[in-house]
Amino acid sequence: MDIPILKQGNCLIASVQPALTDTGLLQLQENLLMLTSKYRSHGVIIDVTVLDVIDSFTSRTLRDTVYMLKLRGAEAVIVGIQPDMAFALVQLGITLEGVKTALDLEEGLALLER
């Protein structure tokens, strides 16, 4: 299942779906790298509002994606981690260290604009 990526000005916005497979996440990584090059985007928002689970693979891949985009001159922000998800991540010791986060899409875009 391909995750839709929208272009908004200088930013790309990807909204992750609940049933995200490992393959789907890696495909998203590839697509974001490709599209940031194509549109010379400076900012990327990865919206995980409706993602059901962030396990160790997901967190590691998200971190890698953010770093890969940084190498390509784009800043990425993860938005939409829900309260229950935040709680579970901390309880399980699954970290998103080094990754910028914001409450939601609006906050994420504001962060990128600064």
Partner 1 sequence: MDSETHLQIRSDADIVTARQKGREMALLLNFLGSDVVMLATIISELARNIVEYAQHGELVLSIAQQVGKRGIIIIARDEGPGIPDLELAMKDGYSTGNSLGLGLPGTKRMMDEFEIISEVGVGTTVTAKKWER
- Binding residues for partner 1, rule: CB under 8 A, are 18-23, 52-57, 60, 83-85, 87-88, 91-94
**Cβ-based nearer residue to partner 1, 91 or 98:** 91
Q: How far is the CB of 91 from partner 1 (least distance, A)?
A: 6
> How many angstroms separate the CA atoms of 28 and 62, rounded?
10
Q: How far is the CB of 104 from partner 1 (least distance, A)?
A: 18
> How many angstroms separate the CA atoms of 47 and 59, rounded?
13
How crowded is residue 91: how many other Cβ atoms within 10 Å of its Cβ? 8
> How many angstroms separate the CA atoms of 91 and 34, rounded?
35
Q: How far is the CB of 81 from partner 1 (least distance, A)?
A: 11
